[in-house]
Structure 1
Amino acid sequence: DMKVNTAQFMALYAWYSWPNVVLCFFGGFLIDRVFGIRLGTVIFSIFVCVGQVVFALGALFNTFWLMEVGRFIFGIGGESLAVAQNTYAVSWFKGKELNLVFGLQLSMARIGSTVNMNIMGWIYSRVQELLGYAGPSTLGLALLIGGVTCLFSLSCALILAYLDRRAEKLLCKEQGKTGEVIKLTDVKDFSLSLWLIFVICVCYYAAVFPFIGLGKVFFIEKFRFSPQEASAINSIVYIISAPMSPVFGLLVDKVGKNIIWVLCAVVTTLASHIMLAFTFWNPWVAMCLLGVAYSLLACALWPMVAFVVPEHQLGTAYGFMQSIQNLGLAVIAIAAGMILDTRGYLFLEVFFSACVFPQGKPFLPLFFCRAEEQERLRRQNEDDLAKLLPKADAFSLRNKYLSKLGAQVSPPGAHRQLKTRVM
């Protein structure tokens, strides 16, 4: 409808990621020190609503640059709103309750992505029937209708603010805080193990999210699926992730061996892309494998950060990891669009496979760095104990990041036992 090429379309994904290259470091700070959890949640929800409205108006008036502005505004609110949401959870729930709450959070997010993929095409068709023609106006109205969910999110933020304020008065409790401590000077102390984890994170997600963004047309063109069938198979990654992430989180927590699980996820993802690129086998098989691998990697990779950095550097490490991830997604999304416009889907799948394949190289040095790294961390944590954050804050920070991605979190006293079981 907008007469844009694939590179321009993928730029919309990039515009969401660009602000989060920076905001990953400051979202927690704004909530803790500037706005507070209640006002911060409302403000970030407003950013999401405004971004969606501007995005829809850009389509309605056939103005692509306005759509890009909308995506940028949406990105400003989106990631920081997730931080606020996790802060509420840590504030209201403790211990084993937190596992269930974060698991439900993750599942609801995946369900939302699945519903969006499958319902927006139907909404567009109904609007087209109502107006009697297709075009930017039809697309804009469909996006405005979809934006109702953003208004619902804002309503929930307002209700949560009221409930939290009421609880503060009745229970004499303080507002929740993220527990984040971001010190950019900590970057110079990052170990080789952590940088290798960053490399795996960027390369892996670059081969998953941009592919899902372009997957619908891929399945229509190569496998002759209908738009409805293409949307269904494209969303299977999120459908699988909703129930499997908590299950894999429990499995990884019980068994350990995070590096082995990550390697299994990477190999499975590579196999999925090779199957989609070079065979005409039923793509449901490859996409189901991709969904399982995606769920497994999220549960195994992100907790590894907590095992290779001291607790007082967790905020910086996770912030830097998210920042690099968003930077990589923005660049790869644009590159994927350009490759598809000039070379086609075969070259695009080869490109995604090339993103996954080099991830095998970091595993060998990462494997041998583990014992030395753990011993160094043990000594450093003991020597710097007086400088560390209060235990509850560090544990809440760890819970927030790990459980957001489906990993099961353990009681504070089990932290050292977990570190010895990673190998």
Structure 2
Amino acid sequence: MADDEDREALLPEAAGSRKRDMAAICDPSRFAHRMLVLALMCFLGFGSYFCYDNPAALQTQVQADMKVNTADFMQLYAFYSWPNVVLCFFGGFLIDRVFGIRLGTIIFSLFVCAGQVIFATGALVNSFLVMEVGRLVFGIGGESLAVAQNTYAVSWFKGKELNLVFGLQLSMARVANGAIRNVITATCEVIKITDVKDFSLSLWLIFIICVCYYVAVFPFIGLGKVFFIEKFQFSPLQAGAINSVVYIISAPLSPVLGFMVDRLGKNIIWVMCAVVATLASHLMLAFTFWNPWIAMSLLGVSYSLLACALWPMVAFVVPEHQLGTAYGFMQSIQNLGLAIIAIVAGVILDSRGYLFLEVFFSACLCMAIIAVVMLYFVNLLRGGDLNLSAWEREKLQKQAAVEAEKEQMKRRNSDWARIRPMSAFAVRVRYLSRLGAQLPEHYCSHLSSLAHRSVLK
């Protein structure tokens, strides 16, 4: 009778537990659910990346219709990047602390949509100022949406899957970037902002590599169409096609390279290969008249490789509860660099021409190489796992799991672990045993914490 009463008392709690478990439609432990979420994550940023390069695809038309020079034209990219100098960092903070990942994603998506509508309205009424305002609003949501996408990725995928997931996300983004050029041309713990001061030297070097690399890629692609028309005498259609080849190559290649990095490890070595290959492509474009398809194809491969090897390294050096803040800060300083370099690139091009601009981009890549070398030695001296092979990293993870299990068993067997609240049933059994009452046989399983049954009798 007492057993039945105890079971009935526990039923509401169990039912509530089942209701809480059923609240989540998708379970991260199920492979099919993770694949569904991965598909949704890949499409999350498609529209944002598609609209991001609208100005690059229409550079000739925008400059002609709006009567602006190259420096003014590059303001469209600067206005996108300026708000993200701060908002990417705070976007990660807002996702972690205020909105949550779901509401934050919806809010940032609405900013992206509203910004593109304002930008298109400015083009319709022939107002360059309205177009700049549209890019500003678009930028408020664009990079923060990417932060949300990265946060989804590290929340749903762990370990070796993470590189492949970032590769697939980049692949879908590059499909959008390539499509816009060809289509338009043809027609847990509390997160604190002060976490930044706790970032390691390795993470700061990753930030430097990110900034120095991407400022030599995105501004060049933004100005590349006119470069190919002027230097290689391509038609606008041909120039738009070759300018998009970086994204076209990156789209199918990113998952393959992400899988390769997963299987081989050695992330720092792959980052070095990517930066050196990108430097080689810029030098070819600057100082030779070789077919630019060679340099741009090399740039597409190296661009994909760097994204697959660099971005997952953040998860290796930052605690899981700080990942949203770390990724947000990384994109914040990336956009700070892009905003500044976009203006500098426009000024250099107007005053000195493309040769000096390519030399400037090459200098940025040399700084990235220096940062990669420093990261290699810092990781080596501190015994980090950034450059471990996949086999070595898996071995360390298994050792860590075994040690964690041993620690858990030690805590479970300690004296403090035995001092734990007892259920009403356990209290009743203990009371009856002290009175010397004969306990039924089926109570044996509940007597492990009491005296031996023969003593109780």
Common fold by TM > 0.5 = yes
The code of the aligned residue for 2:300 comes to G
Q: 1:370 aligns with which of 368, 373, 379?
A: 379
Match of 2:51 in 1: none
How far did residue 305 of structure 1 move? 2.3
| Number of equivalences | 332
8 A contact 1:181–1:315 mirrored in 2: no
8 A contact 2:195–2:322 mirrored in 1: yes
Match of 1:261 in 2: 270
RMSD over aligned Cα atoms:
3.1
**Post-superposition CA distance 1:196-241 (Å, at most 9, x none):** 2221111100000000000000001100111111111111111111
Structure exhibiting the larger radius of gyration computed from Cα positions: 2
Shift of the 117–29 alpha-carbon distance from structure 1 to 2, 3 Å rule, reads same
Match of 2:33 in 1: none
Structure 2, unmatched stretches of 5+, are 1-64, 401-457
Q: Percent sequence identity over matched residues?
A: 76
Match of 1:147 in 2: none
How far did residue 77 of structure 1 move? 1.5
Match of 2:171 in 1: 107
8 A contact 1:268–1:289 mirrored in 2: yes
Q: 2:83 aligns with which of 1, 5, 19?
A: 19
Match of 1:70 in 2: 134
**Post-superposition CA distance 1:257-296 (Å, at most 9, x none):** 1111111111111110010001100000000000011011
The code of the aligned residue for 1:338 comes to V
State how far apart, in whole Å, the 2-side matches of 1:70 and 1:415 are: 49
Match of 1:223 in 2: 232
Match of 1:296 in 2: 305
Greater relative contact order: 1 or 2 (C-alpha under 8 angstroms, separation 6 or more)? 1
8 A contact 1:307–1:374 mirrored in 2: no
How far did residue 347 of structure 1 move? 1.0
Match of 1:279 in 2: 288
Match of 2:185 in 1: 121
How far did residue 38 of structure 1 move? 4.7
State how far apart, in whole Å, the 1-side matches of 2:69 and 2:292 are: 25
State how far apart, in whole Å, the 2-side matches of 1:53 and 1:189 are: 40
Structure 1, unmatched stretches of 5+, are 124-178, 379-408
Report the more deviating stretch, 199-208 or 55-64.
Answer: 55-64
SS in 2 for 1:24: helix
State how far apart, in whole Å, the 1-side matches of 2:190 and 2:345 are: 35
8 A contact 1:24–1:80 mirrored in 2: yes
Instruction: Tell me whether 1:185 sits opposite 2:194 in the alignment.
Output: yes
State how far apart, in whole Å, the 2-side matches of 1:40 and 1:250 are: 30
Report the more deviating stretch, 98-107 or 233-242.
Answer: 98-107
The code of the aligned residue for 1:114 comes to G
Report the more deviating stretch, 11-20 or 79-88.
Answer: 79-88
Give me the TM-score of the superposition, normalised by structure 1.
Answer: 0.70
How far did residue 371 of structure 1 move? 3.2
Alignment of 1:55-204 (within 5 A): 55-85=119-149, 104-123=168-187, 182-204=191-213
Match of 1:342 in 2: 351
Give me the TM-score of the superposition, normalised by structure 2.
Answer: 0.66
State how far apart, in whole Å, the 1-side matches of 2:399 and 2:308 are: 14
Shift of the 349–87 alpha-carbon distance from structure 1 to 2, 3 Å rule, reads closer
How far did residue 243 of structure 1 move? 1.3
